[in-house]
Each structure stands twice: as structure tokens, then as C-alpha cells.
């Protein structure tokens, strides 16, 4: 029973990272109806920026805040320069753009900081949480940050004018334009918020997997799985999906013989396919209905 509890708590902790990445994926998807395959690399680059600022002597939380601001502005710049001109292009053009962005960011990070593994500090420490050996303070901190982030996003989209405008621009762009909402800038803000949320995921996972240019490859796949399980149209679903994927991954790796770290990633891909076949909208997503 203790092993089961330990694996569930560890799954919730890693699921918090997948939830953050899934939130970033959902933000982009709601803005442009496409998945951003470079989301993980954007998060990785932001984490390197935070690490570099700390190497220059900036305190952790100062670097954390500056990274959020830089990531937010960087997301807007990417959307304005690269994807705004592609707004009416075919889907394959968008996919090519995402793949190109992935390769560019990965190569630039390797050029600037090389591909050697670097340690990234944790603001929460690694001691047992409240004296329990089942979960560390860093794992508890990851869960807490994810829940606070979800509450902030809920308040933003529910009670602020900009948040309501972004929801309108995502769900009914033609009607939103008719009432004076600049849907183009709402999309750009979605990109900025997705980049900032992704940077949080990168900074939280870096103390666990260590910092290097390829660190977010697997995390992005799990983030996609979490977003698909929860529903690409639901930020709450993305968070719940992240926790479910984290728990599922740990339990499968523990209790199914022959499933080691090498097979965990294929299991995430199989989970994506299964959910798409059984319930394409996800557990909390809205089915898309079109008039014909």
C-alpha cells in the first residue's frame, strides 16, 4: 500500500509539470486551432534564460519573474513575425513552421549554452515534505504552483475584460470582430501567455531532469497526452489530464512487468491514440459541431 501511495503522489508531482505544459498547448490550440510542436523548445530556451540570469547573480525569484516577462513578450514576437503572416496558409504550412521553429530554438540553445547537462536550482529544496518520505518539498511545490496557476487563469478568463475578449475571439472570432475585439492581438496574447506558462513548466522540471537543450522532448509528448485526455478546449481538463497522465505513467511503470523508462513514452502515445478513438473531444472538451 505504501508503494502504491508513493507512486500516486510521485505521479501527481510529475503530472503537475505535464499539466503546465498541457495548459500552454491548450492556450495555443484555442488561439489558432493547431498544436505547437515547438512549445517544449520555447520552454527550454526560457529556462536557459533563467539559468543564465542566476549565473549573473540575479536571485531565483527575480530571474523567475524576468523570465516570465521575457517569455511572454517572446511569444508575442514569434506570433507577430512568423505565424501572423501564415494565418490563412494550409495546415501543412503551419506544421512546417512549427518544426522549423523547433529546430531553430534547439540549435540556438545548443550554440549559446552547449549540450552539456547543467544543474538548475529548486526554490523549494529537496527535503521530505512535512517530514513525509513519500513526497519532497520540490514535488509539493510543483503541485502548488500548478494549482495556483490554474486559479489565476480561471480568474483571468472569467472576470477580466481581456480574458473574456480572448475567450470570445477563440470561440466566435467573426462575432468578436463585429463587436470591436481585435482578434489578431487576442491571438498574440494567447501566444504570450502560452510561452510564459511553458517557461514555468521548464523551470519546475529542470531541477528534476537537469538542464540541457533536449530536456523537454518527452515532457512535451506527455503534455500533448494530457491535453488530449483532458480536452483541447478545456484548461481545467488539461490540468486534470496532466495529473491523470502522471499517475497513469507511474503506476504502469511500477505494476506492469517489463515496462521500464524505455516504454513509458510509447505508453503516452498509445494513450493519445486511445482517447482520440474513444472520445476525440477528451474528458472535459466540447465536441465540435459544424453546420453543413
pLDDT at 15 over 90: no
Chain segment 47-69, per-residue pLDDT in tens:
999 999 999 999 999 999 999 99
pLDDT at 285 over 60: yes
- What is the overall mean pLDDT for the chain? 83
Domain interval for residue 103: 2-278
Bridge partner list, 129:
132
What is the CATH number for 194? 1.10.3470
Contacts of 219 (CB under 8 A, 6+ apart): 17, 18, 21, 40, 43, 201, 205, 209
In which residue are the cell numbers 512487468 written?
257
pLDDT band at 292 (very low <50, low <70, confident <90, very high): very low
pLDDT band at 264 (very low <50, low <70, confident <90, very high): low
pLDDT of residue 67: 95
pLDDT band at 6 (very low <50, low <70, confident <90, very high): confident
Indicate whether 288 belongs to any domain.
no
Chain segment 95-150, per-residue pLDDT in tens:
888 889 999 999 999 999 998 889 998 888 878 776 666 678 888 888 888 888 88
DSSP 3-state of 288:
coil
- State the pTM of this model: 0.86
DSSP 3-state of 132:
strand
Distance CA 243, CA 189 (A): 26
Stretch among 1-15, 88-102, 208-222 having the lowest mean pLDDT: 1-15
Chain segment 152-192, per-residue pLDDT in tens:
888 888 888 888 888 787 777 778 888 888 888 888 888 89
Q: Which of 40, 27, 34 is nearest to 93 (CA)?
A: 34
Strands 132-136 and 128-129: antiparallel
DSSP 3-state of 208:
helix
Q: Which of 219, 203, 190, 197 is nearest to 152 (CA)?
A: 197
**Domain count for the chain:** 1
Here the cell at position 112 is 549559446
Indicate whether 42 belongs to any domain.
yes
> What is the SS3 string spanning 241-276?
HHHHHHHHHHHHHHHCCCCCHHHHHHHHHHHHHHHH
Indicate whether 283 belongs to any domain.
no
Indicate whether 20 belongs to any domain.
yes
Indicate whether 187 belongs to any domain.
yes
Distance CA 13, CA 26 (A): 20
Indicate whether 41 belongs to any domain.
yes
In which residue are the cell numbers 510521485 written?
10
Indicate whether 289 belongs to any domain.
no
Indicate whether 202 belongs to any domain.
yes
Amino acid at each position: 500500500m505504501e508503494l502504491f501511495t508513493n507512486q500516486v503522489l510521485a505521479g501527481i508531482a510529475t503530472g503537475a509539470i505535464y499539466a503546465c505544459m498541457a495548459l500552454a498547448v491548450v492556450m495555443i490550440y484555442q488561439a489558432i486551432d493547431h498544436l505547437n510542436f515547438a512549445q517544449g523548445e520555447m520552454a527550454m530556451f526560457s529556462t536557459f534564460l533563467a539559468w543564465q540570469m542566476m549565473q549573473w547573480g540575479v536571485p531565483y525569484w527575480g530571474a523567475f519573474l524576468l523570465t516570465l516577462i521575457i517569455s511572454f513578450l517572446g511569444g508575442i514576437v514569434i506570433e507577430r513575425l512568423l505565424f501572423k503572416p501564415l494565418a490563412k496558409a494550409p495546415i501543412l504550412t503551419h506544421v512546417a513552421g512549427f518544426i522549423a521553429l523547433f529546430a531553430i530554438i534547439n540549435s540556438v540553445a545548443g550554440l549559446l549554452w552547449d549540450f552539456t547537462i547543467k544543474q538548475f536550482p529548486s526554490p523549494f529544496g529537496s527535503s521530505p515534505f512535512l517530514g513525509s518520505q513519500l513526497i519532497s518539498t520540490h514535488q509539493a511545490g510543483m503541485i502548488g504552483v500548478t494549482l495556483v496557476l490554474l486559479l489565476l487563469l480561471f480568474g483571468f478568463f472569467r472576470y477580466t475584460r481581456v480574458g473574456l475578449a480572448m475567450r470570445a475571439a477563440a470561440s466566435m472570432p467573426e462575432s468578436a470582430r463585429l463587436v470591436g475585439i481585435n482578434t489578431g492581438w487576442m491571438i498574440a496574447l494567447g501566444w504570450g501567455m502560452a510561452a510564459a506558462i511553458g517557461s514555468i513548466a521548464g523551470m519546475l522540471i529542470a531541477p528534476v531532469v537537469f538542464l540541457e537543450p533536449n530536456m523537454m522532448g518527452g515532457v512535451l509528448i506527455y503534455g500533448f497526452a494530457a491535453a488530449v485526455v483532458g480536452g483541447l478546449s478545456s484548461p481545467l481538463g488539461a490540468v486534470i489530464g496532466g495529473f491523470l497522465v502522471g499517475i497513469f505513467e507511474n503506476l504502469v511503470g511500477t505494476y506492469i512487468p517489463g515496462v521500464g523508462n524505455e516504454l513509458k513514452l510509447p505508453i503516452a502515445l498509445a494513450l493519445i491514440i486511445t482517447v482520440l478513438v474513444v472520445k476525440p473531444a477528451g474528458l472535459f472538451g466540447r465536441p465540435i459541431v459544424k453546420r453543413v
